[in-house]
Amino acid sequence: MPITLEQHTDETCTLEEAFEALSNLQFDPREGECLQVASSWLRKLSNNRHFLADRLVERITGRAEGSIDSGYGPQAIVLSPLKGNVFLRANIWPSEHDLCFKNSGAANFVYGLPHDHNFSFLTSGYLGPGYRSDYFEYDYDNVCGYAGEHAGLRFVERSALSEGKMMLYRAHLDVHSQLPPESLSVSLNVMHVDPAQCWYDQYGFDLESGHVSRVLSPNATEVFMRAAIGLGTQEALDYAEWVGKSHPSERLRLASFEARAARLSDCGEQDRHWRSAELAGSSMVAAIASERRRALEI
């Protein structure tokens, strides 16, 4: 499960001070001393009981200067731009009694959707009793990543991100299934950004079966490539063939074979295509290719 960190100080800091210190730190969550420094700044920011309310009022009243682009949903508030390899974020966690939960449903707040992360981040309970989680661990390197694959999840515990509690979620190791808090809660995050993380997938899991359910992380390259292959230019098809054989991302290699298969109408051609996928050197692609070939026989 995520590592619980202890930081005992009554000092406070502003959002600007915390962001400046963290961006200059070149935050690396795998390095012990760096992690301690980063967590000390998160504790100081968490001790500031006014900054977030002030920031929210500025946005509500339209007084906030500029805006920060965010690919997150409405519950996530990006508090800083990306600088170096870090940015700051706040998350709002409604309870089942809150109107936004009743109107939008649990899935819009990622409740009951077990998942890992393809990035590491520090988090601290800032307000309220905090969301609850069933925590698991698994071996990312032993999972190919296709839907229906056994993930080998190991249950650790259920606990809440209570006010003042600080944890490090580790990329590709910690899995959690979140449950609504007993009352409205807020968490603060120090987000670590690795340039390579877009090539590593984030998974959803089915806890009942213990299987990978789907890939959660978006990848614009995959969408662009599928569209180019669909248009059918020779350059796109040549590129797709290279991706299927050689790209370091198994997910992109699979997308290459899937997009090219969609252009084939003859079952024999499709069988030969998926047979070549089985021999392309990717365990994930090979497993799915075998399923596709079996489906052609039905």
Domain ranges for the chain:
3-105+115-133+156-200, 220-292
Split at pLDDT 50, 70, 90, the class of 95 is: very high
CA distance 194 to 280: 28
CATH for 3-105+115-133+156-200 is 2.60.120.10
For residue 107, the one-letter residue type is A
pLDDT tens for 119-152 read 999 999 999 999 999 999 999 999 988 899 999 9
Cα distances from 63 to residues 57, 60, 82, 88, 197, in angstroms, run 8, 8, 22, 20, 35
CA distance 217 to 38: 26
The length of the chain, given as a count of residues: 298
3-state secondary structure of 117: coil
CA distance 45 to 124: 10
Mean pLDDT of the chain: 92
| pTM reported for the whole predicted model | 0.88
Q: What percent of the chain has pLDDT over 70?
A: 96
84, 90 in Cβ contact below 8 A? Answer: no
Structure tokens given for 246: 């050689």
3-state secondary structure of 157: strand
pLDDT tens for 172-217 read 999 999 999 999 999 999 999 988 777 889 999 999 999 999 999 8
Name the helix (H) or strand (E) containing 188: strand 185-192
Average pLDDT over every residue of 278-283: 92
For residue 69, the model assigns a pLDDT of 55
DSSP 109: G
CA distance 283 to 298: 24
User: Distance between alpha carbon 46 and the CA centroid of its chain, in Å?
Assistant: 23
Q: Would you say residue 67 has pLDDT above 70?
A: no
CA distance 271 to 249: 23
